[in-house]
C-alpha cells in the first residue's frame, strides 16, 4: 500500500473487510520509506544487451530484467546503478533475481554508494543463494543519491549479470536532508505481510 508523502507519528491500519469471515490475522505490519517513490529514478549500467536495458530493473515487472552484454567479450564485474534523483538516507538494497533461469543471477555482490555519481564507497559486500526469491543487502545507514549494485560473481555463467528489480530503502522512519538544509518528510510504503509471505520489495 502506497500513499502520498505525509508527516505523522501515529499510523492506524483499519480493516474494513476480511477474507474468511469477521476475524483478522496479520503476521507483520511495517512502515517504510520506499525510494522508488522518489521524483526521478534513472537506471544505468556498465553494459546492457539490446532488449535487456537497465531501465527494465525499474519497471515493476519481474518478467523483464536488465542483462549485461554477452556478445562483445564482456566479463564480470558488471554493475547496475540507480540515480534516485536526490540525496537520501538508505540502509538496505533489495534485489529480485532473474526469474526464468539462473543465468546471470548474482552470486557475489558489492553495494557502492555516492552522493555525486563520481566518488563511490563500498557500503557492503556479500553473497546470495541461487534462488528466484527476493534478496536483501543491509548496511549502516548512509546518505547517497547513486546506488550501484556490482555483480562480482554470478550463477549459470560467470561472465554475465542480470537484475529483475533493484530498490534501495531506509527501514527507520527518518527525515531526509535537502540541499537547502531543510528536511523532507519521507515517502512511505505500508508493507503488510499476511500469513503467506509476499515478495514485496524492501
pTM score, whole prediction: 0.70
> Does 77 sit behind a cis peptide bond, omega within 30 degrees of 0 on the bond before it?
yes
Distance CA 113, CA 97 (A): 21
Q: Is residue 10 domain-resident?
A: no
Q: Is residue 150 domain-resident?
A: yes
Q: Is residue 46 domain-resident?
A: yes
Q: Is residue 134 domain-resident?
A: yes
Per-residue pLDDT in tens (0 to 9) along the chain, 202 residues = 666 656 677 778 788 888 877 777 776 666 665 544 444 689 999 999 999 999 999 998 999 999 999 987 789 999 999 998 889 899 999 999 999 999 999 999 999 999 999 999 999 999 999 999 999 999 999 999 999 999 999 999 778 999 999 988 865 434 444 444 444 444 333 333 333 233 346 6
Q: Is residue 7 domain-resident?
A: no
Over the range 23-38, which residues count as b (16 or more CB within 10 Å of their CB) and which as e? eeeeeeeeebbbbbeb
Three-state secondary-structure class, residue 127: strand
CATH number at residue 96: 2.60.120.260
Q: Is residue 27 domain-resident?
A: no
Task: Give the domain extent around 76.
Answer: 34-172+182-193
Could you give the number of structural domains in the chain? 1
Cβ-based burial of 4 (10 A; exposed 0-12, middle 13-18, buried ≥19): exposed
Torsion, Cα 162 134 12 185, to 10 degrees, reads -40
Q: Is residue 198 domain-resident?
A: no
Amino acid at each position: 500500500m502506497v500513499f502520498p508523502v505525509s508527516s505523522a507519528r501515529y499510523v492506524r491500519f483499519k480493516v474494513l473487510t476480511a477474507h474468511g469471515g469477521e476475524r483478522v490475522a496479520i503476521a507483520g505490519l511495517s512502515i517504510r520509506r520506499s525510494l522508488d517513490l522518489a521524483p526521478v529514478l534513472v537506471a544505468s549500467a556498465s553494459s546492457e544487451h539490446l532488449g535487456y536495458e537497465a531501465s527494465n530493473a525499474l519497471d515493476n515487472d519481474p518478467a523483464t530484467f536488465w542483462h549485461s552484454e554477452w556478445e562483445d567479450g564482456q566479463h564480470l564485474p558488471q554493475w547496475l546503478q540507480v540515480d534516485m534523483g536526490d540525496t537520501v538516507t538508505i540502509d538496505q538494497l533489495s534485489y529480485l533475481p532473474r526469474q526464468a533461469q539462473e543465468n546471470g543471477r548474482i552470486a557475489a555482490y558489492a553495494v557502492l554508494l555516492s552522493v555525486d555519481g563520481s566518488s563511490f564507497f563500498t557500503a557492503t559486500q556479500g553473497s546470495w543463494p541461487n534462488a528466484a526469491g527476493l534478496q536483501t543487502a543491509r548496511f549502516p545507514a548512509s546518505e547517497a543519491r547513486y546506488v550501484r549494485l556490482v555483480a562480482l560473481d554470478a550463477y549459470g555463467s560467470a561472465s554475465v549479470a542480470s537484475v529483475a528489480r533493484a530498490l534501495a530503502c531506509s527501514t527507520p522512519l527518518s527525515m531526509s536532508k535537502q540541499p537547502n538544509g531543510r528536511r523532507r518528510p519521507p515517502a512511505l510504503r505500508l508493507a503488510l505481510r499476511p500469513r503467506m509471505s509476499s515478495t514485496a520489495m524492501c
